[in-house]
Structure 1
Amino acid sequence: MPCMDDDVERRGRPTVHVAFGEAIAVLAGDALLAAAFEVLGRGAPGLPAEALLFAARDLAHAAGSLALVGGQVDDLAFEAASASLASVESIHERKSAALIAASIVGGARLGGASAPLLERLRRFGVAVGIAFQIADDLLDERQDGAEEKGGDAGCSLVPLVGEKAARERAETLLASALLWIDDLGERAEPLRELARFAVRRDR
């Protein structure tokens, strides 16, 4: 959106506000958020009502003022000159990482996972989410370049530490994430594949 990052492309395709206009982009975001809660509220045979309630709570938290919205507020106020690794990753953790973690934990909760396993999966999701955002920033740097963006890369680790160090940080986070699910065997292989793709994708 022009009032946010004003990206013209995401994942190699035009952003919604470019393709359909700002009004439709805002309405689409509102509709999708409402649809997420509708799906949880609808439930399915065999899913415990309490698990659905907690999954909805986790999603609301991830999308709210203490996570996604608060992170975006800090992103808008971000100043590269005073940035640090901690400040950049704090924003990433509350945005991409919060939503990824909530999605993973929500699915596991509905599947009957224990509290200790849910916490491990949350930590897995946070690490993957931060690494995902670093990978996104690396792709932006490669595709657009800071010069084309007018020298302002926004809240990104790449201008702060350089491409090589940023890529190494993403790989370190990926390794950390995989350790949280190391002993889960074959049933966790889809999560491992998802994590590797999130960090090593080329678009």
Structure 2
Amino acid sequence: MEIKAYLNKQRSIVEAYLEEAIAKPVGDFAGHIETMRYSLFVGGKRVRPILCLAGAEAVSCGKCDIQEILPIAGAMECIHTYSLIHDDLPAMDDDDLRRGKPTNHTIYGEAAAILAGDGLLTYAFELLSNGSSQRDPAVTLQVIHLIAQAAGTFGMVGGQSLDMIYEGKQVAYETLKTIHKSKTGALITASVVGGGLAAGAAKEHQQALTSYGNNIGLAFQIIDDLLDVVSTTEELGKPVGSDEEADKVTYPSLFGIDQSKKMAEQAVADALESLAIFDHHADPLRGIASYIIERKY
């Protein structure tokens, strides 16, 4: 399949949904909503929501109702965007550019940016639990629990905490894996598994999607680390060399560029192997795995 065409099509679907689903900047809370919408619509590849849709497609053999999956996909993008707003703050990574545009706090101030992130995180769970779905409420609860775990203490937030704690320190490979599996991989895995669960994934499907998500999450992070070394600010849409400047341990810093590329390639191979249980309806997931290795920004 032509993966770039697929990604562009799915991104348009996700963005159209988000445009309708997210509150408009009117009334008493217009200023706060404007800050939320700024970061949500400033750009981005929408990888997590697209993975959510692709996971559902693989499990249902293309027969799922996309309108049932879009609230989950939209929630994943809200959570991801909130994490970027907070990552960019002066107390964290202190970045001025994100997706090639000024970061939220450089336009609206730190307090407004913190609240924008808080608003997006909370809005995600409003989307997940709005009650309009026709699926079994027990499945919806399972999806919400999965995403909450991936976003919280033992997932993305915990991983970011470890990332901050170990800045400037020598860490073992096992610690690096824990940081990246939590900070980056958990939400990627939850995206694809959450879509699968909503589409009725059996146990073996859940296990396959979990393995796939874990492996592409690893590949995604390794490539991110590499791009911070070999890319440019214009290509990446944010400052390059920030990992080295912050003295963060990364795959290139531990293994070098060539070995890191091989590790990313192996992770993608393992991800593709995980999908053997699925037919051609999982081809979007296969294409996304390969795309991760090829991406330049």
- TM-score between the two structures when normalised by the length of structure 2: 0.63
Counterpart of 1:98 (choices 170, 182, 186) is 186
Report how far residue 121 of structure 1 moved: 0.5
Is the aligned partner of 1:112 residue 2:200? yes
Partners of 2:166 and 2:190 lie apart in 1 by 25
Report how far residue 85 of structure 1 moved: 2.4
Distance 1:169 1:149, change over 3 A: closer
Report how far residue 96 of structure 1 moved: 1.0
* Aligned equivalent of 1:52: 140
Structure 1 residue runs without a partner (length 5+): none
Partners of 1:78 and 1:179 lie apart in 2 by 33
* Aligned equivalent of 2:162: 74
* Aligned equivalent of 1:4: 92
Counterpart of 2:284 (choices 175, 190, 194) is 190
Report how far residue 119 of structure 1 moved: 1.6
Partners of 1:191 and 1:155 lie apart in 2 by 29
- Segments ≥4 residues shifted beyond 6 Å: none
Partners of 1:85 and 1:12 lie apart in 2 by 31
Partners of 2:219 and 2:278 lie apart in 1 by 21
SS of the residue 1:33 aligns to? helix
Counterpart of 1:130 (choices 218, 222, 229) is 218
Partners of 2:225 and 2:282 lie apart in 1 by 27
Is the aligned partner of 1:40 residue 2:128? yes
Structure 2 residue runs without a partner (length 5+): 1-88, 233-238
Distance 1:19 1:189, change over 3 A: farther
Q: Deviations over 1:155-193 (max 9, x none)?
A: 421111111111111111111111101341211111122
Q: Which amino acid aligns with 1:14?
A: P
Count of aligned pairs between the two proteins: 202
* Aligned equivalent of 2:267: 173
SS of the residue 2:118 aligns to? helix
Counterpart of 1:163 (choices 233, 257, 262) is 257
Partners of 2:172 and 2:95 lie apart in 1 by 24
Distance 1:130 1:24, change over 3 A: farther
Partners of 1:149 and 1:70 lie apart in 2 by 19
Partners of 2:227 and 2:130 lie apart in 1 by 38
- TM-score between the two structures when normalised by the length of structure 1: 0.89
Q: Is the 8 A contact 1:83 1:160 kept in 2?
A: no
Identity within the alignment, %: 37
